[in-house]
Amino acid sequence: MFKKPQNLFLGVAAAGLIAFSPISYAATQPEPAPVAGMVVGRDGSSVILEKMPGRVQPAVTADTTRYDEDTDRYVLSGHVRIAWDNSRVITTDEAQLSARTGEIWTQGSTTLQDIEPVFKGDALYVSFNEKQAWFFGQRCGMSLPGLTIHSDTIAYDWENRVAEFSGHVLYIAKDKTRACGHLIYDIARNQAK
């Protein structure tokens, strides 16, 4: 589909020298277009997710992708981006995706954006069937304009737009700061329960 660019020819007539300046093939390629129901690697690999359960068909891009037959998972690494339902996007360093069960596991710096809010953490487990995401690690948090909540773990129900924070919860709003062990935040109503 794309032609590999030819090396640039630079002639230096005065010195009688010829120099070549190669252009990186990867640098000239456009970002792979995320397509619903596909895993696309920037390494040129792509596969259709034919077995995804339910109606969720994520569009997945990563620097490298491979299928692990032993675990029945797609292994994704480098600038991983998983988007679905026109509003939710996961970005991470590494992920595994099971097309059979509709589950995702990530590790490394991970974010989940659901228009607003933005969630961050060190690791994430997502179940498309349950429409929930669970963040783990030492740096879990959610941010909205004027609000930040940090905790040890976060459970997020994106269908009902409710986040549950557990363990060393720190709630920081424009006019209020509080620490507690557990907090439920209703994003649709913009209020803590």
Q: Which amino acid is at 136?
A: F
The domain limits of the chain are 31-192
Contact 94, 77 (CB under 8 A): yes
CATH number for the domain formed by residue range(s) 31-192: 2.60.450.10
Query: Is 9's pLDDT higher than 50?
Result: no
7: its two tokens: 């090396």
User: Tens of pLDDT along 117-173?
Assistant: 999 999 999 999 899 999 998 889 999 999 999 999 999 999 999 999 999 999 999
How many H-runs (helices) and E-runs (strands) does the chain carry? 0, 17
Considering all CA atoms of the chain, what is the largest pairwise distance in Å, rounded to the nearest integer? 77
